[in-house]
Amino acid sequence: MENIKEKTDDNLLEVKNLKISFKTDEGIITAVDGVNFTVKHGETLGIVGESGSGKSVSTWSIMRLLPKNSIIDKKSSIRFRKKDGKVVDITKLKARSKELRKIRGGEVALIFQEPMSSFSPVYTIGNQISEAVLQHRDVSKEEAQEIAIDMLDRVGIANPRQRFKQYPFELSGGMRQRAMIAVALSMNPALLIADEPTTSLDVTIQAQILELMNELQEELGMAIIFITHNLGVIAQVADKIEVMYLGKILERGTTKDIIQNPQHPYTQALLKAIPRLDHIGERLNAISGDIPSPLSRPTGCPFYTRCEKVIPGICDVKMPNPTKLSDTHTVYCFLYEEKNV
Amino acid sequence: MTTTDLSHTPLSQEESEEAQRYFSASQFQLIWWRFRKRRLAQTGALILLVLAFVGLFAEFFNPYGGTTRISDAILVSPQIPRFCNDAGCTLRPFVPGVVSKRNEETLRMETVMDPSVRRDIYFFVKGEPYKLLGFIEMDTHLFGLKEGAINLFGTDSMGRDLFSRLLLATRTSLSIGIVGVIIAFVLALIIGGIAGYFGGWTDYAIQRLTEIVRVVPVIPLYMGLAAAFPKEWSSTQVYFAMTLILALVGWPTLARRIRGKLLSLRGEDYVIAARLSGAGSSRIIGRHLLPAFMSYIIVDLVISFPYMLLSETALSFIGLGLRPPTVSWGVLLQDAQTVRAIEQAPWLFIPALFVVVAVLSFTVLGDGLRDAADPYQVSD
Amino acid sequence: MIKFLVQRTLGMIVTMFFVSIMVFIIMELPPGDYAERWAFRKFSGTGAQITQADLDNIRANFGLDRPAPERYFKWISNIVLHGDFGEAFAFQTSVNNVIGQKIWLTLAILFSTLIVTYIISIPVGMYAAVRRNSLEDYALTVFSYLGFALPNFLLALILLYISITYFDTSVGGLFSPDYADAPWSMDKALDLLSHLVVPAIILAWSATAFQLQTVRATMLDELNTLSVTAARARGVPEWKLLLKYPARLAINPVVSTIGFDANRIFSELPIVALVLGLPELGQLLLKSYLDLDMFVAGAILLILTFMIVFMNFLSDIFLAILDPRVKLIEG
Ligand SMILES: Nc1ncnc2c1ncn2[C@@H]1O[C@H](COP(=O)(O)OP(=O)(O)OP(=O)(O)O)[C@@H](O)[C@H]1O
Ligand SMILES: [Mg+2]
């Protein structure tokens, strides 16, 4: 197994051996298998991977938001350092405990890919922000309203007083995502999980939101886990990156390691898939082949069915061990394991 | 669903074949597989098949004709076949005999069982001649007595065998349901199909029309139409008119669902592709749209059966539906309208049991099919 | 909101217009004509011979010699302008006299049924959704199935039988004999209420079965929406979350089908009323169909339908209040 030799005191979050399965009609689906990562205070971790690679599942589990048919393996641990300095293992908390409720929002907040459906359509934006504030701060209704309006203002929504009284469907997509960020930040979390916050927005608004998040992070000093399937986006925000595929981490490193010196064939393929302004007109290099169904997950390296450099008889037998390329850069691939051995 | 190249995977041969089949299966096969897992729905289907089969060959399974009056045997309670009496047991089942006696108190003639009389049941006996399926002349019945009468479900106040009448009624009631659903379906398909495909103004007008038919309370509307049947109509004419009415009032719900589904399919890629490639309207509806939601339609059909059955029963029950000599479940239940009937001849309620069982079967079957067709759709 | 109200009101009027045409057609359908039936009733037993001239006279009197559109117009304008529904020949009096009080009794039955239905189905449906796949959930599903399958005349008979055999009271009728002809008083109202319970239970039985499934299904849908997860991610306690988000939305389909429920209740009413001997509109409707007393039948059909249309109207308005999206989409 992997050794995480890091000063644990710095770590806000330590996820170890995370394995999550779902009970379904078709059988048990293992969506995330043996994932490790850490997040330090004030740091931004990026998680990239194609659709279905388990990005959402592994991060939502930090707040225990997975549906009832999910099973978190007993050997998994999600250790989180709370504001009062105590470290809790979130996987061990009771589903309905007050402690978990305090962590949800108060310590870790989440913003979703779809700002439209993450607001309830029958309550005003203001109602839903105030609810969050009242849940985590000891303030009166009026104070909560002021905090909410102030927060709307801070995320760059013009006329916050008026917007406060409006319904989600009266706001534009970009505006809704700003409001969603306002909800999350109004609770003053130490860690913000942004699950593809810009995917459903068009490019200019996407850039604005990214900038806003960078600004707010500097201002408020929280850590961020930023999830996306676009390496181009993540390069703008993350300090370090985990590359995920079919529930496993395939490569990990600083943003520089991953973007400038990608080693895993999957990471390389993902990088080629980014549409680039200077290459307009060239065929977009999407990775060929289909993602295997989660029901028939390949043994061995999950990527071997689509890998150009597959080594038959090796890659399809067992999962490669981690290979440390530098202090910060680790890759899970037999191409490098062999060189080291 | 993504298709997968599984050739490298070290799954066992069997597993990969299973998976392979799963991914290459047609819509119908998928539904069938999921349906096979649903025991309750299968039970429903089985019960309905048995009912339909027995109803179809009712004359053969009946010991008597539907209107045959068994002399003296008025309001006989059900005779339960048995193998043993005081004299010992035999392999051949028999029923106790029925005798008429004058009640000492009320001075009315009453029929009572006499356990000392033993009437053997024989199989494939010759009896009343009939035409199987309406054209095969036969006189063999599945079972019967050589002497006396057998009334498994008792007799009614006119001395007719309830069991025989019930089987005939099963055929009538089920066939009204089937024919009614089919007519309603054809109407709905045409009207809903036109509305859903063309959209716009056509859709709007048809929507308003269906809305108007839908606001009028169904049974009172049926009653009004049924009241218009001339008294001199034969029972066959009434039967067909009734079926038609059930269908006429039943189509809007179906039409609405078909339209809704069509509207949502209309915007899908492959339909747009077909249209761009110059296919005509009817071709698109027939070749691309209908197959795509055939499964939903079947589910809807099954679900609309109970309404037809219950409406027919209710209408005949109050005397506005089918008329004697036609027998249906509702017609039979006319004899069971009062509390006195429960007290004196509770077996007259056996037809109600059939109604309940049939409706339940259709409901669980419909639900099972719906879940199998679309496991992720929860509401409506 | 004003615009929305005006729109809905207009829609209601248009619907009623078309419905009235349909009702008129149904009134015209039965064979034979009204004059003959009227004359037959009037003179039967008197020994008087009815001549063709008499019939023609009656026809002219009632305007039956006029073409259908004209008769329709006269019929509907009498109703709209004077509230006059015509003559009930079987009763030898005006339709208004015949239906008068029965309208209120029918409304009383309708509302008590709706109230019973909603009081049971909404909370229980929500509970079943939250406890999905539990024993209680399955039990409720079985109940729902029975609700669909048991014809309500049968249920009525069973309840009637039970009440006679075990409680030695008759649940039939709307009043106890003591109160039937007494003037209205508090006691009489209470008596009426106690008699409403059984019909309300019978009629609510199947309506509850339907609504329970609807509430359960919507609630299940809503439980899985992202907005609920989002609220949970804000640390909102589970029960508060359920009540504020999914429960609030699970009421919508119930509200939007009030008219549909009224429709079903009116559909089943004549049959249940027949069994229970309730002197309300449904039973009268049945009787007038059997007598071919079409002015009475037409009036009742029109009134029942109007009630349904009006309930639809109310449900649209409630829905617009409950769900801010409705006005935006449709208004
Ligand atoms: N409720 C569930 N029941 C069964 N399987 C699930 C469930 N939720 C997720 N999964 C499985 O988990 C896998 C990972 O899903 P996840 O949503 O984490 O992917 P993702 O990387 O976030 O993808 P996307 O980019 O589409 O958001 C999916 O392939 C899916 O099969
Ligand atoms: Mg995701």
Buried b (16+ CB within 10 A) or exposed e, A239-251: bbbbbbbbbbbbb
Please name the residue whose Cα sits nearest to atom 3 of ligand 1.
Answer: A22
- Ligand 1 atom with least separation from CA of A247: 14
Query: What is the distance between the terminal CA atoms of chain B, rounded to a whole angstrom?
Result: 24
User: Which run of H or E residues covers position A242?
Assistant: strand A240-245
Tell me the C-alpha distance between A167 and A123, whole Å: 6
Residue A47 near ligand 1, beta carbon < 6 Å: no
Q: Which residues of B166-186 are buried (b: 16+ CB within 10 A; e: fewer)?
A: bbbbbbbbbbbbebbbebbbe
Q: Give me Rg for the CA atoms of chain C.
A: 24
What's the whole-number average pLDDT of chain B? 73
pLDDT for res B12: 45
- Given the structure tokens 């078709």, which residue do they identify? A26
Spatial contact of A111 and A181, defined as CB atoms under 8 Å apart: yes
Tens of pLDDT along A22-53?
Answer: 988 777 889 999 899 999 999 999 999 888 88
Residue B221 forms contact with C (CB below 8 Å): yes
- Residue A39 has a pLDDT of 94
Chain A residues with CB-CB distance to C325 below 8 A: 121-122, 167, 169
Concatenated DSSP letters for C215-268?
Answer: HHHHHHHHHTSHHHHHHHHTT--HHHHHIIIIIHHHHHHHHHTHHHHHHHHHHH
How confident is residue A87, by pLDDT bands cut at 50, 70 and 90? very high
Report residue B331: phi and psi, to 5°.
-60, -45
Burial class (CB in 10 A: 0-12, 13-18, 19+), B153: buried
Least-confidence region, from B76-80, B195-199, C170-174? C170-174
Q: Identify whether the C-beta of residue C129 lies closer than 8 Å to the C-beta of residue C243.
A: no
Report how far residue B335's alpha carbon sits from residue C78's, in angstroms, rounded to the nearest whole number.
42
Interface contact flag, C275 B313, Cβ < 8 Å: no
If you ran DSSP here, which 8-state letter would residue A274 be given? S
User: Of the spans A130-144, B313-327, C138-152, which averages the highest pLDDT?
Assistant: A130-144
Using the predicted structure, report yes or no on whether residue A141 has a pLDDT greater than 90: yes
Q: B223 — contact with chain C (CB < 8 Å)?
A: yes
CA distance B323 to B321: 6
B4, pLDDT greater than 80 = no
> What is the percent of chain C with per-residue pLDDT over 90, rounded to a whole number?
8
Give yes or no for a contact between B250 and B308, defined as CB atoms under 8 angstroms apart: yes
- Please give the backbone phi and psi of residue B143, each rounded to the nearest 5 degrees, phi first: -145, 165
Q: How far apart, in Å, are the Cα atoms of C90 and each of A148, B302, C44, C295, C306?
A: 71, 42, 12, 10, 24
Do A146 and A228 meet the contact criterion of CB atoms below 8 Å apart?
A: no
Is residue A261 helix, strand or coil?
coil
Which residue from B180, B214, B165 is spatially nearest to B362, judged by alpha carbons?
A: B180
Q: Ligand 1 atom closest to Cα of A20?
A: 12
Q: Which of B224, B227, B314 sits opposite C153 (nearest CB)?
A: B314
Nearest CA owner, ligand 1 atom 24: A51
Burial of C96-120, coded b for 16+ CB within 10 Å and e otherwise, reads bebbeebbebbebbbebbbebbbeb
Q: Report the neighbours of A using a cutoff of 3 or more CB pairs below 8 angstroms.
A: B, C
- Name the segment(s) of chain B with CATH classification 1.10.3720.10: 165-373
- For residue A331, CA distances in Å to A336, B166, C256, C307 come to 8, 76, 57, 72
Kindly tell me if the per-residue pLDDT of C52 is higher than 80. no
Q: Which of A122, A136, A187 to mutate to test the interface with C (most CBs of C within 10 A)?
A: A122
Tell me the mean pLDDT in the region C252-276. Answer: 85
Protein residue with its CA nearest to atom 29 in ligand 1 = A52
Q: Ligand 1: does its nearest atom lie under 6 Å from the Cβ of A61?
A: no
CA of A244, nearest ligand number: 1
The finding on whether A262 has its CB within 6 A of some atom of ligand 1 is no
Which pLDDT does position B272 carry in this prediction? 63
Pick from A104, A117, A123: which is nearest to C234 by CB? Answer: A104
| Res C291 pLDDT > 50 | yes
Give the pair of three-digit tokens for residue B73: 């045997």
Nearest by CB to B216, which of C19, C145, C275?
C19
What is the Å distance from ligand 1's center to A52 Cα? 5
In whole angstroms, give the CA distance from residue A251 to residue B13: 32
**Which pLDDT value is given to residue B1?**
36
Q: What is the mean pLDDT of residues C88-113?
A: 82
The ipTM, to two decimals, is: 0.85
Q: Please tell me the distance from the alpha carbon of residue B180 to that of residue B328, in angstroms, as a whole number.
A: 15
Q: Report the half-sphere exposure of A261 (CA within 13 A, side-chain side).
A: 11
Whether ligand 1 lies within 6 angstroms of the CB of A115 is answered as no
The secondary structure of C134-179 as a DSSP string is SHHHHHHHHHHHHHHHS-HHHHHHHHHHHHHHHS-----SSS-HHH
> Whose Cα sits closest to atom 16 in ligand 1?
A54
| Mutation target among B219, B331, B353 for the C interface, most CBs of C within 10 A | B219
**pLDDT at residue A78, rounded to an integer:** 94
According to DSSP, residue A90 is labeled G
Confidence class for position B11, pLDDT limits 50, 70, 90: very low
Question: Which ligand number lies closest to the CA of residue A57?
Answer: 1
Ligand 1 pocket: which of A20, A23, A56 to mutate (most atoms <8 Å of CB)?
A56
Assess whether pLDDT exceeds 60 at residue C94. Answer: yes
Q: Which of B98, B147, B87, B99 is nearest to B122 (CA)?
A: B147
Tell me the pLDDT band of A75, cut-offs 50, 70 and 90: very high
- Asked whether the beta carbons of residue B8 and residue A25 sit closer than 8 angstroms, the reply is no
For the stretch B3-8, contacts whose Cβ atoms lie closer than 8 Å and that sit 24 or more positions apart, written own/partner, are: B3/A290, B4/A290, B4/A292, B4/A293, B4/A296, B5/A289, B5/A290, B5/A305, B6/A292, B6/A296, B8/A298, B8/A304, B8/A305, B8/A316
- Asked if residue A22 has its Cβ within 6 Å of ligand 1, the reply is yes
Task: Measure CA A238 to chain center.
Answer: 11
Cβ distance of B219 and C270 shorter than 8 Å? yes
Query: The pTM is what?
Result: 0.79
In DSSP terms, A157 is beta-bridged to none
> Which residues are paired to A251 by β-bridges?
A243, A331
Better pLDDT: B71 or C236 = C236
Interchain contact, B227 vs C290, CB within 8 Å: yes
How does strand A44-48 pair with strand A223-228? parallel
Of residues A194 and B241, the one with the higher pLDDT is: A194
Answer yes or no: is the C-beta of A67 below 6 A from any ligand 1 atom. Answer: yes
Residue C283: which residues within 8 A CB-CB, separation 6 or more? Answer: C269, C270, C273, C274, C277
Q: How far is C223 from chain B (nearest CA, A)?
A: 12
Question: Which residue does chain C place closest to A68, by CA atoms?
Answer: C224
The residue whose CA is least distant from atom 4 of ligand 1 is A22
Say whether pLDDT at A17 is over 90.
Answer: yes
- Give the pLDDT confidence score for residue B3 in this predicted structure: 38
pLDDT at A131: 92
Nearest CA in chain C to A97: C237
- Chain C residues within an 8 Å CB radius of A112: 226, 229-230
Question: Closest Cα partner for A4 from A320, A341, A327?
Answer: A327
Dihedral of alpha carbons A158, A159, A165, A167, sign:
negative
Nearest CA residue ID for atom 2, ligand 1:
A22
Q: Who among B212, B225, B339 is closest to C29 (CB)?
A: B225
Measured between beta carbons, which residues in chain C are less than 8 angstroms from residue A109?
233-234
Q: In the beta sheet, which residues pair with residue B132?
A: B136
pLDDT given for residue B380 in this prediction: 32
Least confident range from A117-131, A184-198, B48-62: namely B48-62
Residues B337 and B27: beta-carbon distance below 8 Å: no
Mean pLDDT of chain C: 82
Strand bridging mode A27-40 / A87-89: unpaired
Per-residue burial over C147-158, b if 16 or more Cβ lie within 10 Å, else e, is bbbbbbbbbbbb
User: Which atom of ligand 1 is nearest the CA belonging to A199?
Assistant: 25
Is the CB of residue A31 below 6 angstroms from any atom belonging to ligand 1?
yes
Among left, alpha and beta (phi > 0; psi -120 to 50; other), residue A313 is left
d(CA B137, CA C186): 70
* A contacts of B20 (beta carbons < 8 Å): none
The backbone torsions φ and ψ at residue B254, rounded to the nearest 5 degrees and listed phi first, read -60, -45
Contacting subunits of C (3+ beta carbon pairs below 8 A): A, B
Q: Decide: A294 in ligand 1 pocket, CB within 6 A.
A: yes
Strand partners for A110: A193
Cα–Cα distances (Å) from A69 to A23, A73, A74, A104, B144, in that order, read 5, 13, 15, 20, 58
Q: Which residue has the least CA distance to atom 25 on ligand 1?
A: A51
Pair of tokens at residue B201: 């103004």
Q: Is the CB of A66 under 6 A from ligand 1?
A: no
Cβ atoms of A57 and A209 closer than 8 Å: no
Instruction: Write down the pLDDT at residue B283.
Output: 64
CATH number of B165-373: 1.10.3720.10
- Do the Cβ atoms of A49 and A266 come closer than 8 Å? no
Ligand 2 center–CA C232 separation, angstroms: 17
Interval B126-150 mean pLDDT: 73
Q: Do B19 and A293 touch (CB under 8 A)?
A: yes
Residue B246 distance to chain A (closest CA, Å): 39
Whether A54 is in the pocket of ligand 1, judged by its Cβ within 6 Å, is yes
- Position B151 pLDDT exceeds 50: yes
Banded model confidence at residue B52, pLDDT cuts 50, 70, 90:
confident
Question: Does B379 contact C at CB distance below 8 Å?
Answer: yes
Residue B18, amino acid: E
What H or E segment, with its residue span, contains residue A175? helix A173-186
Does position B82 have pLDDT exceeding 50, yes or no? yes
Other beta carbons within 10 Å of C247: 22
pLDDT (tens digit, 9 = 90+) per residue, A92-116? 998 888 999 999 989 999 998 877 7
Instruction: Spell B303-324 as b/e; 16+ CB within 10 A means b.
Output: bbbbbbbbbbbbbbbbbbbbbe
Contacts (Cβ under 8 Å, ≥6 apart) of B104:
none
Contacts 24+ apart (CB under 8 A), C158-161: C159/C198, C159/C201, C159/C202, C160/B339, C160/C198, C160/C275, C160/C276, C161/B339, C161/B342, C161/B343
Distance of CA B284 to the CA centre of its chain: 33
What does the pLDDT average to over C239-245? 89
For residue A310, the chain B residue with the least C-alpha distance is B8
Angle between helices C152-166 and C258-276 (to 10 degrees): 50
Q: Is B251 on the interface with C (CB under 8 A)?
A: no
Residue numbers in B near C301 (CB within 8 A): 216-217, 220-221, 224
